[in-house]
Chains A and B, each alone.
Chain A
Amino acid sequence: MRRLLPVLPYLWLGAFVLLPVVITLKISLSAPATAQPPYLPVLDWSAGIEGWGTFLEALDFANFDTLANDALYRDAALSSLTLAAIATAILALIGTPVALAMARASPRAQPLLVALVIVPFWTSFLIRIYAWIAILKPEGLLSAAAMTLGLSAQPLDILNTQGAVLIGLTYAYLPFMVLPLYAVLAKLDPRLTEAAADLGAGPVRTFWTVTLPLARPGLTAGALLCFVPMVGEFIIPDLLGGSDTLMLGRVLWSEFFSNRDWPLAASVAILVLVLIVGPLMVFREAQQRRAEAPR
């Protein structure tokens, strides 16, 4: 009875998580084609070892060659990583004071504050990004406010720039940074900061030498939680970034939906998995194991 428990979810995950990735890998090695499947080479199972031989020989690395040598894909990869890194840094700067304030709030208020951070995190992503269009466009609210306050003479044109993408990324992923940080900070022993204060450290020094080093696991967890999905983000660069912002998720989308080059889209997916998602997952596992290890 107990042994049968994993069977059903195991089969499901094998069929709909593992198998799709294997197929994507296979198609990424097919000859570039805008046509429909079957993509060559097809693995001939009935031919046994020999079938594998001919299959492996016929594999085509042309897609990865294209990705490595075409400036478009290099720029897309570079700008994905740069934008995600800058946004993660901004999130750490904004998220730390918010999480710290939550952890120091009265115990009765804390569950409410956590719920307030979680609600937007589950609210429609598309709609929350869409809401920024009305705020950021030249005749939008931010521009109108800046002009009324005399901060700017002309309408601000923020929409369709990388700045708008950064605002969108920061906005959408703030809960992912605040929640893990809060989880660590809320468990911090208040006697540690009290001890630092008793020994004569001011609030700034206490923060730098006591609170921040102890909050590092939360900061790492939050950064990983934000960085990986941000690199593959599609909706934010598409709605806020205009045609100039290239990010990997968007390149994959347009290779697939506009250019209909499925093998190339599959290659982009495999590259993102191998170069970004995989290493960061391994790093995260190692971090978790270290955090759980007895001291």
Chain B
Amino acid sequence: MRALDRVALILGLGFLYAPILVLAVYSFNASALVTVWGGFSTRWYGVLFADAPLIEAARVSLLVALCAATLATILGTLAALALDRGGRFAGRGAFTGLVSVPLVMPEVITGLSLLLLFVGVGLDRGILTIVIAHATLGLGFVAVIVGARLRGLDRALEEAASDLGAGAARVFATITLPLIAPSVAAGFLLAFTLSLDDLVIASFVSGPGSTTLPMRLYSQVRLGVNPEINAASTLLVGAVTALVLTASWLSGRRASA
């Protein structure tokens, strides 16, 4: 049984990681032919950093991700607070449903429906519309993560503070916020990662001059395998992995705290 378990884990994790490793290894290939190994080289990283449109797309993506994740974190935390301690308010059921819609809706539908809205109200497509779309997507994820933390909180701490005379705002700032801070930070990082990663929604709601990194990569990927894209992918995967590990370390601390 133990041996079988080991085989299942090795095969399962191997399946998940092998393609990424292949990609990373071939990004250091000297040959321009992706499937022929021509020796170790970092030349594609040099090509990558000289690629002005790609760098510009990366700049747009980082800007969008930063703004969208900030908005998603504020709104998602408010939504989680409302669901956990807002008591009964009108339309609570509808609110719960709406929060989870962006989590399950296929991306093509989210993208199309938001675009039809932006066209309908006459909002010019660009960085702002991508930020709005990504913030909406991230909001649900932040609400789920922060909500889980709020449910695990000891309410006696907040009650003690208000018994000692602290007002609602002070209780929130000095007790609640520090306690949920790790999950708020983890939510921010996940919203940031989602935004950085999104191709489909951004393709629908972007306009001229607001090409994001995944959109730029996609337009080149459609032309076939290309070692420069391997290099860009390796950097992106490395950056995202670092963010995810930080996020899981932050939310892991809540278990030991």
Contacts and interface: CB of A to CB of B under 8 A. Distances in A.
A196 interface: no
B75 A124 contact: no
B139 A12 contact: yes
Contacts, number: 234
Given A6-B78, A37-B120, A120-B20, A125 B197 contact: yes
Interface string B1-27: 100111011011101110110110010
Nearest to B236: A124
Interface residues of A, number: 82
The dominant DSSP class at the B interface is: helix
Contacts of A171: 15-16, 19
A269 B108 CA distance: 8
Contacts of A55: none
B108 A9 contact: no
Contact of B240 (A16, A20, A123): A123
Interface in A116-165: 116-120, 122-128, 130-135, 137, 139-141, 144
B112 A256 contact: yes
A234 interface: yes
A135 B114 contact: no
B95 A20 contact: no
A124 B107 contact: no
B211 interface: no
Interface stretch (A59-67, A68-76, A96-104, A215-223): A96-104
Contacts of B81: 5
B116 A122 contact: no
B106 A134 contact: no
B113 A24 contact: yes
Interface of B: 1, 4-6, 8-9, 11-13, 15-17, 19-20, 22-23, 26, 34-35, 75-76, 78-79, 81-82, 85-87, 89, 91, 95, 98-99, 101-102, 104-109, 112-114, 116-117, 119-120, 132-133, 135-136, 139, 143, 168-169, 190, 193, 196-197, 199-200, 203-204, 214, 217-218, 221-222, 224-225, 229, 233, 236-237, 240-241, 243-245, 248, 252
12 contacts: A5-B85, A8-B78, A9-B82, A9-B143, A20-B116, A122-B244, A124-B196, A127-B233, A137-B225, A233-B106, A235-B199, A265-B112
